Amino acid sequence: MGCVSVGFARILCLVAASALVALAPAGADAQSRAKHPVRLIVPIPTGGQADVVARLIADALHERLGQTFVVENRPGASGRIAVDALKSAAPDGATLLFTPVLVPVFGPLVLRNVNYDPAKDFAPVTQVSKYEFAFAVAANHSARTVPEFVAWAKANPARANVGNPGAGSVPHFLGVMLRHAAGVELAQIPYKGVGSLEAELMGNQIAAGISAVWDLVPLHRAGKLRILATSGAARSTLLPEVPTFGQQGFPGVEAVGWHGVYAPAGTPQPVIDRLSAAIVAALRTPELREKLVALGLEPTGTTPQMLATIMAADTARWSPIIKASGFTAE
């Protein structure tokens, strides 16, 4: 297969070209493992960014461990279908969950009917990557900084709103965080996906929007939107010219999304450590790092213990914000 396209389409092509290529495993133990493919469950539909990253990780694990890793998309019910599949699997390393931060952190905080406890049902393997969010306005908006937007919002309360790509998402609560930090009413407008958000933002149907940086960068560079801030502690490598919220006088307004890999609770630690080491080693290679950076991600790679700490810290940080918002979902 020839992969001559660029950007996201090229990544998809490369993944499709290399996925599930059999390697000859060495040794009886490797031969035994190779007969039984490992499922990598993803709680989103095929073709989304997390799905693409999961396939890159599956490819890398296949090459390093001599096993076939099959990505299995289980979207729906805000991640609970995928979680059910993980919980019902044997804790033997043959089933893994590749998930954005929404499932292990936000799901238990926003869902009325939660069928899982990440601290008890998930065995952390590694964090794979992280990413930031961007705050943008239409290209013809008068504001060129966040303080200017806040001043505009105070002067135009009936029009002051912020769109996000989904209720209960990180951008949703980042907007809530900005509202409290700025001391101004900013109605949160949820959309079903980033496409609708971008269209209405460019059309001035909403005043501002928040989504992952990689979603908004192309329109920003094309002059169709203007990104006023990014959500990390430091400036985004994708947008080094754009200051953070903190650099504009809102130091508490920070949010970082991430992807992580989990095994079922009870999976033996040597199995987890083997998988974690393989993923971390793959993330250190220039080839995989280049592909992830092209998707707007920062490759990380952590120990299982570090992922557990990140998950617990994010849960503690977001819990009071979500509770104060009063938001819940089915």
Report pLDDT digits (tens) over 215-231: 999 999 999 999 999 99
Query: Which pLDDT band holds residue 33 (cuts at 50, 70, 90)?
Result: low
**Predicted pLDDT at 34:** 54
Taking residues 270-283, what's their average pLDDT? 98
- In a shared domain, residues 170 and 217: yes
Neighbours of 37 (CB within 10 A): 16
Same domain, 224 and 298: no
CATH number at residue 119: 3.40.190.150
Question: What pLDDT score was predicted for residue 104?
Answer: 98
Average pLDDT over residues 123-130: 98
Strand residue runs (E) in 91-224: 95-100, 122-138, 161-164, 187-190, 208-212
Q: What beta strand segments (E) does the chain contain?
A: 38-42, 69-73, 95-100, 122-138, 161-164, 187-190, 208-212, 225-230, 256-264, 298-299
Read off the DSSP letter of residue 167. Answer: T
Q: Is residue 177 part of a domain?
A: yes
Please report which residue ranges of 231-285 form alpha helices under DSSP H. 269-283
pLDDT in tens, 166-186: 999 999 999 999 999 999 999
Tell whether 122 and 12 lie within a shared domain: yes
Q: Provide mean pLDDT across the span 28-44.
A: 74
Residue where a domain terminates, one of 195, 213, 248? 248
Of 248, 283, 298, the residue that ends a domain is 248
Domain count, the chain: 2
Residue 79 in domain: yes
Q: Is there a single domain that holds both residue 137 and residue 123? A: no
What token pair was written down for 313? 């810290």
CB 230 within 8 A of CB 247: no
* 282-291 average pLDDT score: 97
Q: How many CB atoms lie within 10 A of CB 25?
A: 16
pLDDT for 230: 98
Positive or negative: CA dihedral 179, 182, 186, 189 = negative
Around 307, how many Cα atoms within 13 Å sit in the side-chain half-sphere?
A: 31
Closest by Cα among 93, 69, 71, 68 to 82: 71
Mean pLDDT of 193-203: 96
User: For the chain, what percent of residues have pLDDT higher than 90?
Assistant: 87
Q: Which of 202, 231, 248 is the last residue of a domain?
A: 248
In this prediction, residue 100 carries a pLDDT of: 97
Q: Say how far apart CA 236 and CA 231 lie, in whole Å.
A: 8
> What is the mean pLDDT of the segment spanning 83-110?
97
Say whether both 168 and 233 belong to one domain: yes
pLDDT confidence of residue 31: 46
pLDDT given for residue 10 in this prediction = 46
**What pLDDT score was predicted for residue 330?**
87
Query: Does 186 lie in the same domain as 103?
Result: no
